[in-house]
Amino acid sequence: MGGDFGPRCIVPAIARSLSRLPQLDVILVGAEPALQSALAACPLPAERVSFRYTSEVILADDPPASVLRRKTDASMRVALELVRDGQAAGCLSAGNTGALMVLSRSILGTLPGVDRPAFMAALPVAGKACYLLDLGANVDCTADQLFTFAIMGSVAVSELAGMPAPRVGLLNIGTELHKGSQRVREVAERLHNCPQLNYVGSVEGDGLFRDQADVVVCDGFVGNVVLKASEGLADYLQEEMRRSLDQQPLMRWLAPLLRRVIAPVRERHDPALHNGASLLGLRGVVVKSHGAATERAFAAAIERACLISQAGLPQRIAERLAGSGL
């Protein structure tokens, strides 16, 4: 029950998702007073919702390492334990990202061959999605870890987007073979020689938005910067367009028509519709929502978590990793 808005946003999002996903049942984990207050304003169907009340909260500024030793009754920990024990198909959290990463590794464990899990999310590109990983779970990565990320991302996109052979690219400062750090050049050679991957080579930053790859691999520092910059740019352009329409009399007169024309474009590029980063490489399903997610955005993350759980993604990734020799 984390995030900036807590249950008062999450509970209405659950109501929206329950109406759209007949196969979905929900376990709400959190403090009883906050949950009951939100439920009073937005009741949920009792036959599809159950509760696990907790007494502790992991705060946004709690050091990730400290949550391993303390707060054993925090909602994030209890939710992950439900996944570990087979009582839940997956865990969705809008709370402390570092704590979620640390607790997920400790409670669920990683798949064979996976040293570090990676966050993967979708960027809206040319009417479709480009999936980027890692997005911040690993600030610095070895070539082995980047190679593992590429395999995990390829499997995830193949299962979730229905692509038999998604195009995999490596985020780099140029497309030439000699470009990039030694680590990037090393993993590029390994990806090129991997028959399990449809590797298309290095992708520059602008290539993310030119439909040059379906999966793009990078370390978590770079990935997080790209993600936040992309979200900020989308918000900035929308605000600039709104300001331009309001400043000129003719534009104000035409604004209703223009807004209807650009509405489909704005809808396709709305970050809320792509909320929900998958933490790949674990023995269970974990999805991280943006902390500032609105009701609509959190509902999108619920649907993503449901899709990943139904696809049995951890099992599919484990099978592919075993075949790669990792």
Intra-chain end-to-end CA distance of the chain, in Å: 36
Beta-sheet pairing, 118-125 with 277-280: antiparallel
In a domain, 141, yes or no: yes
pLDDT in tens, 251-263: 777 777 777 777 6
Instruction: Say yes or no: 129 and 217 in one domain.
Output: yes
Indicate whether 210 pLDDT > 70.
Answer: yes
Instruction: Say yes or no: 133 and 105 in one domain.
Output: no
- Segment 138-155 mean pLDDT: 93
In a domain, 297, yes or no: yes
Q: Which amino acid is at 197?
A: L
Instruction: Say yes or no: 87 and 105 in one domain.
Output: yes
Q: How many Å is the Cα radius of gyration of the chain?
A: 21
pLDDT bucket at 127, cuts 50 / 70 / 90: low
* pLDDT over 70 percentage in the chain: 95
CATH number at residue 153: 3.40.718.10
- How many residues would you count in the chain? 326
Instruction: Say yes or no: 132 and 219 in one domain.
Output: yes
Among 143, 139, 148, 141, residue whose Cα is nearest residue 110: 148
pLDDT bucket at 62, cuts 50 / 70 / 90: confident
Instruction: Say yes or no: 214 and 279 in one domain.
Output: no
Instruction: Say yes or no: 137 and 212 in one domain.
Output: yes
In a domain, 261, yes or no: no
In a domain, 259, yes or no: no
Range of the domain at 86: 5-115+272-311
Indicate whether 236 pLDDT > 70.
Answer: yes
- Residue 180, by phi and psi: left (phi above 0), alpha (psi -120 to 50) or beta? left
Range scoring the smallest mean pLDDT among 18-22, 173-177, 241-245: 241-245
Indicate whether 111 pLDDT > 70.
Answer: yes
pLDDT bucket at 132, cuts 50 / 70 / 90: very high
pLDDT bucket at 146, cuts 50 / 70 / 90: very high
Instruction: Say yes or no: 129 and 204 in one domain.
Output: yes
Range scoring the smallest mean pLDDT among 177-186, 215-224, 279-288: 177-186
267 vs 112, residue with greater confidence: 112
Looking at residue 265, its pLDDT comes to 67
Looking at residue 228, its pLDDT comes to 86
Phi, psi (5° rounding) for residue 293? -65, 135
In a domain, 248, yes or no: no
Among 298, 250, 245, residue whose Cα is nearest residue 271: 298
In a domain, 54, yes or no: yes
Instruction: Give the Cα-Cα-Cα angle 51, 54, 58 (nearest 5 degrees).
Output: 125
Looking at residue 258, its pLDDT comes to 72
In a domain, 209, yes or no: yes
Looking at residue 325, its pLDDT comes to 60
pLDDT bucket at 126, cuts 50 / 70 / 90: low
How many domains does the chain contain in total?
2
Among 23, 205, 19, residue whose Cα is nearest residue 130: 205
pLDDT in tens, 78-101: 999 999 999 999 999 998 999 999
* pLDDT over 90 percentage in the chain: 53
Looking at residue 107, its pLDDT comes to 95
Looking at residue 326, its pLDDT comes to 60
If one counts every other C-beta atom within 10 angstroms of the C-beta of residue 267, the result is: 11
- Segment 300-322 mean pLDDT: 92
- Please say whether the beta carbons of 2 and 92 come within 8 A: no
Instruction: Say yes or no: 210 and 281 in one domain.
Output: no
Instruction: Say yes or no: 129 and 110 in one domain.
Output: no
Among 246, 241, 229, 289, residue whose Cα is nearest residue 265: 241
The pair of structure tokens assigned to 252 is: 């104000």
Indicate whether 200 pLDDT > 90.
Answer: yes
The pair of structure tokens assigned to 194 is: 């991997």
Instruction: Say yes or no: 11 and 108 in one domain.
Output: yes
In a domain, 253, yes or no: no
Report in angstroms the alpha-carbon separations of 208 from 120, 167, 190, 200, 296.
14, 12, 21, 13, 25
Instruction: Give the Cα-Cα-Cα angle 304, 306, 311 (nearest 5 degrees).
Output: 95
Instruction: Say yes or no: 32 and 101 in one domain.
Output: yes
